């Protein structure tokens, strides 16, 4: 997850321990230490590092995410990024404020540095600022602040309220914290002269009223052409981008068809909601041409054949859009892999096997595969068969249980076949 990039080993252990304490009503450190594979002494030491309100009392009221957010906000990497966004202390003052050295700060930001590279962003230590596409910088700050429930202060209340009423049809007080935060970031970056490069509107009916453009241009000291581009971008992000919601009416038919083809090439059974989300990502990739900021950075690419995803995308795009193939593939791969994790695998197990073996197979598959296993009664309803006798009249994938092998050997061979089936189907 994104927040894990800010945590060191000690902080990760605190999160692990508190998560167990929160879910275990007995709060028994001995039992929890065993489940974590720790010694009791290690668990006790980590426990004593928890803030007082997260230690065992009459009840454990703060949820685990609150501890994670607090640890992230107190981390050197987060404070350096917040300084780049808001306070702009020079590196010498920043190091003094954080009570650390430049080498230590660099080490604490190694994981984050690699994450930023995937987003085409770079943290400049000497200038203590983020570099890259201005749109991506704003979205990264927005995404990060939402992840830690950071509440930014909106100074231009009246102008902000007018923008939201015009673009969203909602007043300021009815909008959620992330919406307000994006508006704050929007004003902050423009005030600092950090402007986006105008691009063609994503939404055909995105007619920003001239009166709003003029009011914003006057207060923010920006020319009207630039201000229209800024408001058009803000409107797009807050209304139809994959960061906010999926709006079927704004998607191109080609995007929807491509999403359907991709989804059904890798996932058994359609999921219209996810197909539309993929279509929104594709539309975003085509229009903004930016890597999608995602919290799914720990998804292993091995769960899906990336080259196959690339080929499916390429086969469905026109020749003039080939340059977007790699970007679309990168932007959808994690989301697609997460849904693939929950693919429902329909399994038929021959009744000729003893019930004890059948139960053992089900437990084994549910504990080792990324699929949800559904054992069906009829052979024709299954996508995968486990049989004893040879069957040549079906196109379904089959594993033949061998009575000449041990149960463990059969299960290992079954797992190998299932993993191959998942990768090639």
- One DSSP character per residue, 348-409 reads EE-TTS-HHHHHHHHHHHHHH-SSEEEE-SSGGG-SEEEESS---S--SEEEE--TTS-HHH
CB atoms < 10 A from the CB of 26, how many?
Answer: 9
Residue with tokens 């501890």: 67
Please measure the distance between the N-terminal and C-terminal CA atoms of the chain and give it in whole angstroms.
29
User: Residue 10: its pLDDT value, please?
Assistant: 93
- Phi (first) and psi of residue 122, to 5 degrees: -145, 135
* Domain residue limits, the chain: 2-73, 76-132, 157-239, 250-341, 344-424
Cβ–Cβ under 8 Å, residues 213 and 253: no
Sign, Cα dihedral of 300, 303, 307, 313: negative
Give the HSE-up count for residue 289: Cα atoms under 13 Å, Cβ half-sphere: 8
Task: Give the pLDDT means over successive 10-residue stretches in the chain (425 positions).
Answer: 88 91 82 90 94 75 86 95 93 93 92 92 91 96 92 94 93 89 96 86 65 96 94 90 75 82 73 80 89 67 70 80 85 75 73 82 69 76 82 73 76 74 52
Helix H or strand E encompassing 347:
strand 344-349
- In order, the DSSP letters of 132-153 are S-HHHHHHHHHHHHHHTT----
Query: What pLDDT score does 204 carry?
Result: 45
Residue 302: what pLDDT?
Answer: 43
State pTM to two decimals. Answer: 0.76
Provide the H-helix boundaries in 74-193.
Answer: 76-82, 91-98, 102-108, 110-118, 134-147, 157-168, 177-191
Burial class (CB in 10 A: 0-12, 13-18, 19+), 32: buried
Top-tier CATH class for 344-424: alpha beta
Contact between residue 344 and residue 371 where contact means Cβ atoms under 8 Å apart: yes
H-only helix segments in 192-349: 210-220, 224-239, 253-266, 272-288, 306-315, 325-341
Identify the helix (H) or strand (E) that includes residue 203.
none
Q: What are the b/e assignments for 190-200, b being 16+ CB within 10 Å?
A: beeeebbeeee
pLDDT (0 to 100) of residue 301: 47
Nearest to 153 by CA among 212, 86, 88: 86
- Which residue is associated with the tokens 């003094």? 96
Q: Which H or E run includes 123?
A: strand 122-124
Identify whether the C-beta of residue 327 lies closer than 8 Å to the C-beta of residue 291: yes
């Amino acid at each position: 997850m994104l927040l894990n990039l800010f945590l060191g080993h000690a902080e990760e252990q605190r999160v692990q321990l508190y998560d167990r304490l929160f879910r275990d009503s007995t709060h028994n450190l001995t039992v929890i230490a065993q489940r974590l594979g720790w010694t009791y002494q290690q668990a006790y030491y980590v426990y004593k590092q928890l803030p007082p309100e997260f230690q065992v009392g009459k009840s454990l009221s703060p949820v685990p995410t609150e501890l994670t957010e607090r640890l992230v906000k107190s981390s050197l990497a987060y404070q350096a990024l917040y300084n780049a966004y808001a306070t702009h202390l020079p590196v010498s003052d920043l190091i003094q404020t954080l009570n650390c050295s430049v080498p230590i700060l660099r080490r604490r930001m190694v994981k984050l540095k690699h994450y930023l590279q995937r987003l085409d962003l770079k943290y400049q230590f000497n200038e203590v600022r983020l570099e890259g596409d201005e749109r991506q910088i704003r979205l990264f700050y927005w995404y990060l602040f939402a992840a830690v429930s950071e509440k930014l202060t909106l100074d231009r209340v009246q102008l902000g309220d007018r923008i939201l009423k015009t673009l969203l049809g909602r007043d300021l007080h009815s909008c959620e914290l992330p919406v307000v935060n994006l508006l704050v970031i929007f004003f902050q970056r423009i005030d600092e002269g950090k402007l986006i490069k105008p691009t063609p509107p994503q939404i055909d009916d995105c007619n920003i009223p001239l009166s709003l453009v003029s009011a914003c241009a006057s207060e923010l000291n920006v020319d009207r052409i630039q201000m229209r581009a800024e408001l058009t971008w803000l409107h797009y992000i807050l209304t139809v981008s994959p960061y906010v919601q999926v709006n079927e009416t704004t998607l191109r038919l080609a995007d929807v068809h491509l999403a359907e083809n991709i989804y059904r090439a890798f996932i058994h059974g359609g999921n219209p909601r996810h197909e539309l989300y993929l279509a929104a990502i594709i539309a975003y990739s085509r229009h903004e041409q930016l890597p999608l900021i995602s919290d799914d950075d720990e998804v292993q690419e091995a769960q899906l054949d990336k080259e196959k995803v690339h080929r499916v995308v390429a086969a469905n795009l026109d020749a003039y859009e080939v340059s977007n193939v790699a970007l679309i593939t990168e932007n959808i791969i994690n989301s697609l892999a997460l849904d693939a994790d929950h693919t429902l695998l329909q399994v038929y197990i021959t009744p000729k096997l003893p019930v004890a073996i059948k139960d053992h197979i089900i437990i084994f598959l549910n504990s080792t595969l990324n699929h949800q296993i559904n054992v069906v009664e009829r052979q024709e309803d299954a996508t995968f068969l486990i049989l004893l006798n040879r069957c040549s009249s079906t196109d379904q994938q089959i594993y033949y249980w061998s009575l000449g092998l041990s149960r463990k050997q059969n299960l290992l061979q079954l797992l190998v076949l299932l993993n191959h089936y998942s990768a090639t189907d």
